Amino acid sequence: MVNEQRARSLIEGAADPVVLLDSERRVVAVSPAALRLVPAASAGQRLPEETIAAQPDVLVFFFESPPELSAYQELRAGFTAAVSHELRTPLARLLALLETAALPDADNGDLLDQAREEVQQVGELIDDVLFLGELETGREVVSLGRTPAAPVVEEVVESLRERADHAEVRFELRIDGQVELPLRPRMLRVVLENLLANTIRYSGQGSTCTVEVSRTAEAAELVVSDNGKGVPSADLPRLFERFYRSDQARTSRGTGLGLAIVKHVVTAAGGEVVATGAPVRGLEIRARFPDTQPGGSRQD
């Protein structure tokens, strides 16, 4: 606390344009010169990367408050245990398949197909863990300029259409072609792929997955909803937790990290994401990006 107060005092008294941000890109302190260049940089406000990029003369520093050792150790131990548990399940199934393959008259072709699926499951889990780690350490830039949403939505929907057809899930698009979202194209694809995969995996046969992109006076919104099985109200607040699965999802082959990644990407870009729904009434996940304006360039 003393160090933070000292840093705030130094920056607020600086003649140069300087901004101090915390780990969530919220303004801790800002010098008068920086505030003149970036009026949005008031204390407590989240400052998107593109806002800073537009003012190259502003110096940006990050303030990292060291966690208490016991809390950090508890968090690390919990995450390690969760990863270990999630890896152990497909590895146990893989071992059982290999043991079965050694039995007389075993259908090795079918067993090899099942074993391949288990290896893919482990690979997906490792990829998601590493990607989430990059997001949380700030190595993966989420927001850089704005991206027209329509082409990316159409691209992702088409890439998942065969999978959706197999699950008997139909896509419906309601896209405002003029809306741009404050995400890099790759990050927008990540969000969409995880949201649509979640719907395909859990909504149930015969359901419709609706993808909407629209703009209100205050914000741009990306909404993925379905009219499928739905989620118990008690599970809704926990859907974005790492490795959390509701009872009906525990037998799935998902990694349990998809919605956690969605939340991290959306909030890192200055937005918010909420889930609503009920059993037999489907699920809606709404990502809202305040103060998104049309314009800007698309960057890959």
Cα separation, 283 vs 265, in Å, equals: 20
Provide the CATH number for the domain formed by 147-290 in this structure.
Answer: 3.30.565.10
Q: What is the pLDDT of residues 102-150, one digit of tens each?
A: 888 888 888 888 888 778 767 766 766 666 666 665 555 566 678 999 9
Phi, psi of 2 (to 5 degrees): -65, -45
Cα separation, 171 vs 135, in Å, equals: 29
Cα separation, 197 vs 251, in Å, equals: 15
Phi, psi of 203 (to 5 degrees): -70, -30
Q: So what's the pLDDT on residue 171? A: 97
Q: pTM value? A: 0.57
Q: Which two tokens stand for residue 51?
A: 């806002």
Only one residue has tokens 């071992």, namely 95
Residue among 184, 180, 224, 226 at smallest CA distance from 207 = 226
* Whether domain 69-136 has CATH 3.40.50.970: no
Cα separation, 251 vs 246, in Å, equals: 10
Cα separation, 276 vs 236, in Å, equals: 7
Q: What is the pLDDT of residues 31-69, one digit of tens each?
A: 888 888 888 888 778 877 777 777 777 888 776 655 444
CATH 3.30.565.10 domain residues, the chain: 147-290
Q: So what's the pLDDT on residue 140? A: 53
